[in-house]
Chains A and B, each alone.
Chain A
Amino acid sequence: MEAVKKQLEGRIDYEGQRLSEQVAYFSLVVSGVIAFFVSFLASSIKFGLIVFAAGYVITLLAVVPPWPVYRKHPIAWLPVRRLKAD
């Protein structure tokens, strides 16, 4: 149960958090711009919104799961120091 929970939690490291945020930010802006031009050229607002929805789903797929690219920089903890027993 704990293992399943941990898997679903999908933790990533600090560098991965920065990267995933940038990916989400730019891919959504780009899909919004593409959606605008598509709907303008196709003369259909519905079609443009479908394009944007597709961009949103792709962004979710790219960002939400803990892909290995977001776990390349694990935190290097200091080694455990043994205290001398008396």
Chain B
Amino acid sequence: MFSAWQRLQNTSSWALSVCLTLLAVISVSSWYVLPTVPLGSIGLKSFQVVPGSGSQSNLEYALMRLDVQSDLTPLFANWNTKQLYVSVVADWNSTVEGTQSSVVLWDRIITRKRPEAAKLRIEGLKAKNVWKVRRGGFKTIPSCHLSLKYDIMPYVGIVTPGIGARARNPTWNVTTETATNSFGEWDIAVPGVKSGGVGS
């Protein structure tokens, strides 16, 4: 610390350490005040599985229209929320392969500049990315989960995931006597393959 130049260097390097500590403290503390959102709803307007045709004839497609309702605006109450990555995801288990898979059907980024856009009310949502499997693949998928997932992208810290809405099984717990399957509350039955095809 004997010369001005040395004092400048020492002070700056200490300032950098303090600044990084400050950011670490901010990222950890914002975890403790992480807001939660009420679970929204996903309504299944239509859901059909159709075979591809032509050059796509080795594939099957799941086509669906969804009504998505979820209010994610409370997430912007957190000071550390920069933007949200919101996606509608289908998760399923294959009974043959015994694997867990998921596909992002639709996604969107909501920034802090327009936090009112986090109030989602989308009717007739069509998948951006079509869920497709090998021909005959949907036979091994009895049910799937449809959920609206969000990832909080913070200014500093790590991305935090969460669930904003889920699709509820419409037949669940309504008629227990005539229930033909053992699906749970959030299991959506995947319909059988229709004849006729799309694509080419």
Contacts and interface: CB of A to CB of B under 8 A. Distances in A.
A56 B15 contact: yes
Interface in B152-186: 155-156
Interface in B1-24: 1-5, 7-8, 10-12, 14-15, 18-19, 21-22
A76 to B, nearest CB: 18
B22 A35 contact: yes
B28 to A, nearest CB: 11
Given A39-B79, A45-B79, A45-B156, A28 B3 contact: no
Contacts of B77: 43
Nearest to A56: B15
Contacts of A32: 18-19, 21-22
A36 to B, nearest CB: 6
A63 B11 contact: yes
Contacts of B79: 39-40, 43-45
A29 B26 contact: no
Q: Is the contact region of chain B dominated by helix, strand, or loop, or is it mixed? A: helix
A44 B80 CA distance: 8
Given A24-B11, A45-B155, A56-B15, A10 B22 contact: no
Contacts of B58: none
B26 A45 contact: yes
Interface string A46-81: 001100100010011001111000000000000000
Contacts of B26: 36, 39, 45, 48
B196 to A, nearest CB: 55
A39 B7 CA distance: 28
B10 A21 contact: yes
A25 B18 CA distance: 10
A10 B7 CA distance: 10
A21 B13 CA distance: 12
Contact of A64 (B8, B29, B155): B8
Given A9-B3, A10-B3, A10-B4, A40 B11 contact: no
A8 interface: yes
A40 B33 CA distance: 11
Contacts of B18: 28-29, 31-32, 52
Contact of A52 (B11, B12, B14, B22): B22
Interface of A: 8-12, 17-18, 20-21, 24-25, 28-29, 31-32, 35-36, 39-40, 43-45, 48-49, 52, 56, 59-60, 63-66
